[in-house]
Chain A
């Protein structure tokens, strides 16, 4: 925590430094405070999420050509972590808090020539035209801490340069350090975990794993990307390329250790982050009055072999392919429309969710949303929000999940939002969301912006 506070203080000092240097300081302080409480619908209504978040954004313009932005989250999340009476004297265990350094970057406009902008520092680079689910958005790792906050990413420390030429722009990004994805916590902790098909007769007692991070050097850690965007026939188009890694780890080694004579075993695994090339394409425009978008990414992964050590079971070491070096494609297309009575609809079809990797593991999703505002925009109702997950079209009845997430937002005053909603899942446990069909919850959020 001390390091976090030091970072926070450094940001404050940096901003104050700018204000001293600048004859007419122009510093903006904005942000919001948000509470987010969820409880399970079934049984004893256990709390499934408990978060209090203070978002602080500082923005400064040291000169006409420069801009500084930073955003931090101060949060308490989860519950008290008390296991022994000695813990009661540890405030951090009773009311734990954390500081997340979300973004901090410097923009230099017209660097070296008037059409070149440069952004240096921790930044979120949003690529893709689809709504929250973007197959081409691969420069920042996903932040899956909250599975219901689709599209949230971590920011990355890096350098982005964008050259503008009329309606066209060319971006180049360099991220020197690799950062893995944040996986979900709480009741969702196991939803995205890899599953093992154990040989018949074996029963798993303990599973443990070790993550092997890329070597700590430029060659192994660096991620590069480039994107060219323009407009053709009144459609916004872009093509992109990334040389990066899968931000989710993949098992490449597993050792089976027998515990007893009845087939009980322990497994210890080793996981790595596969290297890959990613080529992307996206477009946005309109068909008549309907807004449309499409986005696709072709992933070219390196081949990853899985070495399964069964020698202690007398079966030697078996080699198989964990990830083939064959390209696989994720895509999304969708559209939105506002009816004259103010009802807004948004529909997207997605092939390949965030965590899915390799041709055989890609599933299909139909996401939809409908919203309408009432009482001079004081009340927003989203009665038909959700999606359909289809794991296998040929055996739909056993491989699907329906996700239903209606929500009501009330804006009693400027800058204040009160949100009430629910996450309901019905489906088969073979599907990603279906595994969570016992985790339906009800939530309430309050947010004030300043």
Chain B
């Protein structure tokens, strides 16, 4: 009897040991998946995009905006509004370490923006300033593997300690074949799903994957913003000088 108990305990310990190793492997896999997803979306050395934004309200009425977006690596982004007339020239610069600037042509002034604006809507769209930042998700979030579903890895992302974000949790869908992020569900601090981002028309341009269309749905207001890439230039050796206050008002 004693031997049976000893063997049972031994087997239990062995099982627990392998279970913990398996869990660690899943954790590692989630980190790897997110790392690969970050690598894929930030693969081009730089991106020079002309984007059409379509704002659709709950009645289906549409408003159109145009902007240019310049990104280098995964942490520098410059966005400039081209239309409509009352927003033309408004420019937003996102730099590492949460440094953000906004240029308002009407005031001829560059304004430093604090992180409290991150959760506010960017120029009336459903994207917030935080969504418009250039980031690597793995720098801000801890991933956890949920499951494989419909040829996608499903990850749950929770913010790392000390990270300022309004999102309590993200559920991310990553394609199995190319690690492209196709969908992100955004949860607020009350753990309620309130925004969904969907990437569509994913195509390969040269050696890089790119979603020609993205959509952000605000579930509460039933408002949607579609982001359509109309022109794209990748790896065009954009200078670091473009991501400066000097260039923000040009």
Contacts and interface: CB of A to CB of B under 8 A. Distances in A.
Do A and B form a real pair? yes
B249 to A, nearest CB: 10
Given A289-B114, A377-B124, A340 B86 contact: no
Contact of B112 (A107, A151, A285, A377): A285
Nearest to B85: A449
Interface in A413-450: 414-415, 417, 449-450
Nearest to B188: A340
A376 B115 CA distance: 22
Given A291-B112, A338-B120, A340-B119, A234 B99 contact: yes
A289 B116 contact: yes
Nearest to B109: A126
Given A376-B124, A377-B121, A449-B84, A340 B115 contact: no
Given A109-B250, A126-B109, A450-B85, A164 B115 contact: no
Given A338-B120, A376-B57, A291 B114 contact: yes
Contacts of B164: 289
Contact of A415 (B84, B107, B223): B84
A291 B116 contact: yes
Contacts of A289: 114-116, 164
Interface in A44-69: 67
A230 to B, nearest CB: 11
B242 interface: no
Contacts of B246: 117, 162, 164, 169
Nearest to B86: A449
Interface string B54-90: 0101000001000000000000000000001110100
Interface string A331-355: 0000011101010100000000000
B32 interface: no
A286 B86 CA distance: 28
Nearest to B245: A169
B29 interface: no
A234 B100 CA distance: 11
A126 B107 contact: yes
B120 A342 contact: yes
A302 interface: no
B200 interface: no
B119 A286 contact: no
Contact of A234 (B85, B88, B97, B116): B97
B113 A291 contact: yes
B246 to A, nearest CB: 5
Interface in A277-299: 284-286, 289-293
A126 B85 contact: no
Contacts of B192: none
Interface string B98-122: 1100000001110111111101110
A54 B78 CA distance: 31
A98 interface: no
Interface string A209-237: 00000000000000000000001001010
Interface of A: 30, 32, 67, 107, 109, 117, 124, 126, 129, 151, 162, 164, 169, 231, 234, 236, 284-286, 289-293, 336-338, 340, 342, 344, 376-377, 414-415, 417, 449-450
5 contacts: A126-B107, A164-B246, A286-B98, A292-B114, A336-B116
What are the 8 closest A-B residue pairs judged by CB atoms, nearest first? A291-B114, A449-B86, A286-B114, A449-B85, A284-B112, A289-B116, A414-B84, A377-B124
